[in-house]
């Protein structure tokens, strides 16, 4: 087993949980870069105040959901005072029913961070020790093994969170750096930690929340912003490779419509192409009146996707300051209120929205790939399939097939999960969001979209080679240089797959413009 004993990121101050909201970038820093997390004094006080309310209620005779009752459809079953601690452990064990491949480490780390942040806001009633134990897992790089399937995204991400929470009590499993599974108790012992003993309400608080969905979508928000920029850059390069016109990006056209994303994409395309010799070479006496939609309507299509992703970020950002537990503790009023903040519908709809937006980014990129490879434009006689010798060499013909297959898969993934309800818990939980499924589909869609954009960049970079000695803009040539740093020009047939993978790695690391 290879476990990192401590997480120290050079040049990065610890993230302090204050009880306030987080940002997607902060989630990403902890989930991917192993930024250390600490609990601030304000959060400590919020935890203490809420726990005092829970302790007082646990000693009372009134039935309170999660303290002295069963769970879900078993909520009418009373629990004796001496059993209130036991039922919390039983809850984690019984709810750890996930199946399928393990979630990526970054998703689980993000989930743990969001769980700790939600609890630290002082409306869940857990003890300080519980939140500290979660932070110990993060800071010692102990990542619980969590199967990816099992949440219906309504009464919290129950199964995934239960798998993660078992490690806090010395059960469940941790994944080592080498992928080996380690028993939770052994993993805790390896870094000098001991299992905690849960008390009233704490097991329920650990699994009642939207933290899996929110973790996936937080990472997606960061990745989608980078991918959107790469898609715009790819579109600009494709336009010059195809000897397209930038006239359709004139700001006056887009201001006449007033769609924010459309205006922004047109501006970015104009800036990227400024100073291109290729554009200047055919600005006069070009018999082509209009470019195909895949070039001319980039602002309209990609701008709509940009606006959609911005709305997703708005929903996710709100959730990163939320408490999604039940019941909730309001210490100032000495009140415990049951509700449904654990319901994942806001995130489920946002995830479905993201998958649709990504589908259009990839879809119009694939059309540009097709246009560049089709050899139909007599005013821009680049060789069919960008082949060095069409017929003898197939060039990048099959790269477009791959893009088409990716787009088709994304079309299937874009079918909204949030509209398909399946009731659970004997009908008490009768309207579920399926938000975890929607979030996983959106994440897969983003990965596929990145691959399509990588293919476009490969094709567009090769297309520019056929415009020489004319050069594109300085901005586009810098991007071309980055691609050429990892891929050579196509002189004869070779497998495109390694080149696509190298460009994809550039996009995944946000290094395309670096």
Catalytic residue ranges = 65
Q: Greater confidence, 512 or 196? A: 196
Average the pLDDT over 414-425 and give the result: 94
Look at residue 29 in the predicted model and tell me its pLDDT: 98
Q: What are the tens digits of pLDDT across the range 132-168? A: 999 999 999 999 999 999 999 998 899 999 999 999 9
Look at residue 457 in the predicted model and tell me its pLDDT: 98
Label residue 11 by pLDDT band (50, 70, 90).
low
- pLDDT of 4 strictly over 60: no
Look at residue 288 in the predicted model and tell me its pLDDT: 74
Look at residue 221 in the predicted model and tell me its pLDDT: 98
Taking the C-alpha atoms of residue 504 and residue 440, their distance in angstroms, rounded to an integer, is: 20
Q: Is the CATH code 3.50.50.60 the one for domain 216-283+290-323+357-419+451-472?
A: no
Q: Greater confidence, 282 or 58? A: 282
Which has the closest alpha carbon to 492: 391, 388, 372? 388
| Cα dihedral: 63, 67, 68, 69 (round 10) | 80
Does the pTM of the predicted model rise above 0.85?
yes
| Cα dihedral: 242, 246, 247, 252 (round 10) | 150
290, two tokens: 């209009």
Look at residue 3 in the predicted model and tell me its pLDDT: 43
Q: Is the CATH code 3.40.225.10 the one for domain 15-209?
A: no
Q: What are the tens digits of pLDDT across the range 16-27? A: 999 999 999 999
Look at residue 69 in the predicted model and tell me its pLDDT: 67
Look at residue 1 in the predicted model and tell me its pLDDT: 37
* Residue ranges of domains in the chain: 15-209, 216-283+290-323+357-419+451-472
Average the pLDDT over 252-257 and give the result: 98
Report whether 414 contacts 446 (CB < 8 A). no
Q: What are the tens digits of pLDDT across the range 453-510? A: 999 999 999 999 999 999 999 999 999 999 999 999 999 999 999 999 999 999 999 8
DSSP states along 370-410: HHHHH---TTS-PPGGG-SSBTTB-TTHHHHHHHHHHHHHH
- pLDDT of 373 strictly over 70: yes
Three-class DSSP category at 511 = coil
Taking the C-alpha atoms of residue 28 and residue 160, their distance in angstroms, rounded to an integer, is: 19
Label residue 387 by pLDDT band (50, 70, 90).
very high
Q: What are the tens digits of pLDDT across the range 177-211? A: 788 999 999 999 999 999 999 998 999 999 999 99
Q: Greater confidence, 485 or 176? A: 485
Label residue 58 by pLDDT band (50, 70, 90).
confident
Share above pLDDT 90 across residues of the chain, in percent, rounded to a whole number: 83
Look at residue 56 in the predicted model and tell me its pLDDT: 86
CA separation, residue 261 to residues 110, 157, 186, 228, 305 (Å): 29, 33, 51, 11, 8
Q: What are the tens digits of pLDDT across the range 70-104? A: 566 565 666 666 677 788 899 899 999 999 999 99
Look at residue 2 in the predicted model and tell me its pLDDT: 42
- pLDDT of 66 strictly over 70: no
Label residue 12 by pLDDT band (50, 70, 90).
confident
Look at residue 8 in the predicted model and tell me its pLDDT: 46
- pLDDT of 61 strictly over 70: no
Look at residue 158 in the predicted model and tell me its pLDDT: 96
Q: Greater confidence, 252 or 83? A: 252
Interacting residues of 482 by C-beta distance below 8 A, sequence separation 6+: 506, 511, 512, 513, 514
Average the pLDDT over 101-117 and give the result: 98
Look at residue 6 in the predicted model and tell me its pLDDT: 44
Label residue 511 by pLDDT band (50, 70, 90).
confident
335 phi, psi to nearest 5 deg? -125, 145
Q: What are the tens digits of pLDDT across the range 218-244? A: 999 999 999 999 999 999 999 999 999
Q: What are the tens digits of pLDDT across the range 260-315? A: 999 999 999 999 999 999 999 988 877 777 899 999 999 999 999 999 999 999 99
The CA-to-CA distance between both ends of the chain, in Å, stands at 36
Q: What are the tens digits of pLDDT across the range 311-359? A: 999 999 999 999 999 999 999 999 999 999 999 999 999 999 999 999 9
Look at residue 289 in the predicted model and tell me its pLDDT: 74
């Amino acid at each position: 087993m290879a476990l990192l004993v401590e997480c120290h990121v050079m040049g990065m101050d610890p993230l302090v949980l204050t009880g306030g909201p987080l940002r997607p970038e902060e989630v990403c820093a902890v989930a991917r870069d192993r930024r250390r997390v600490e609990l601030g004094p304000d959060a400590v006080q919020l935890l203490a105040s809420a726990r005092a309310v829970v302790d007082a209620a646990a000693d009372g005779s009134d039935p309170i959901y999660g303290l002295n009752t069963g769970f879900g459809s078993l909520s009418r079953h009373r629990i004796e005072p001496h059993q209130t601690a036991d039922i919390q452990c039983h809850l984690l064990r019984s709810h750890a029913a996930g199946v399928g491949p393990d979630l990526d480490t970054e998703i689980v780390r993000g989930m743990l961070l969001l769980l700790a942040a939600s609890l630290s806001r002082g409306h869940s009633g857990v003890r300080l020790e519980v939140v500290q134990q979660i932070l110990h897992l993060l800071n010692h790089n102990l990542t619980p093994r969590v199967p990816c399937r099992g949440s219906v995204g309504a009464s919290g991400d129950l199964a995934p969170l239960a798998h993660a929470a078992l490690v806090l009590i010395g059960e469940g499993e941790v994944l080592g750096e080498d992928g080996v599974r380690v028993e939770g108790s052994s993993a805790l012992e390896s870094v000098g930690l001991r299992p905690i003993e849960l008390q009233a309400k704490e097991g329920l608080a650990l699994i009642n929340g939207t933290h899996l969905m929110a973790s996936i979508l937080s990472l997606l928000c960061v990745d989608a912003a980078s991918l959107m920029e790469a898609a715009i850059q790819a579109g600009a390069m494709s336009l010059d490779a195809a000897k397209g016109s930038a006239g359709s990006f004139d700001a006056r056209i887009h201001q006449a419509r007033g769609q924010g994303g459309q205006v922004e994409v047109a501006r970015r395309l104009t800036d990227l192409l400024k100073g291109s010799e290729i554009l200047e070479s055919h600005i006069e006496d070009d018999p082509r009146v209009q470019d195909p939609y895949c070039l001319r309507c980039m602002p309209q299509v990609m701008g709509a996707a940009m606006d959609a992703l911005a709305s997703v970020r708005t929903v996710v950002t709100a959730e990163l300051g939320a408490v999604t537990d039940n019941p909730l503790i309001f210490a100032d009023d000495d009140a415990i209120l049951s509700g449904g903040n654990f319901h994942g519908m806001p995130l489920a709809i946002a995830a479905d929205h993201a998958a649709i937006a990504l589908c259009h980014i990839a879809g119009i990129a694939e059309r540009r790939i097709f246009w560049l490879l089709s050899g139909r434009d007599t005013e821009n006689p680049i060789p069919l399939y960008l082949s060095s010798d069409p017929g003898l060499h197939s060039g990048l013909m099959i790269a477009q097939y791959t893009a088409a297959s990716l787009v088709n898969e994304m079309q299937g993934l874009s079918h909204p999960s949030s509209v398909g309800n399946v009731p659970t818990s004997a009908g008490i939980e009768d309207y579920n969001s399926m938000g975890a499924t929607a979030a996983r589909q959106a994440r897969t869609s983003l990965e596929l979209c990145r691959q399509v954009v990588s293919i476009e960049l490969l094709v567009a970079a090769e297309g520019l080679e056929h415009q020489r000695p004319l050069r594109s803009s300085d901005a586009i040539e810098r991007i071309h240089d980055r691609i050429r740093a990892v891929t050579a020009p196509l002189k004869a047939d070779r497998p495109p797959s390694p080149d696509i993978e190298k460009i994809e790695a550039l996009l995944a690391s946000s290094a395309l413009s670096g």
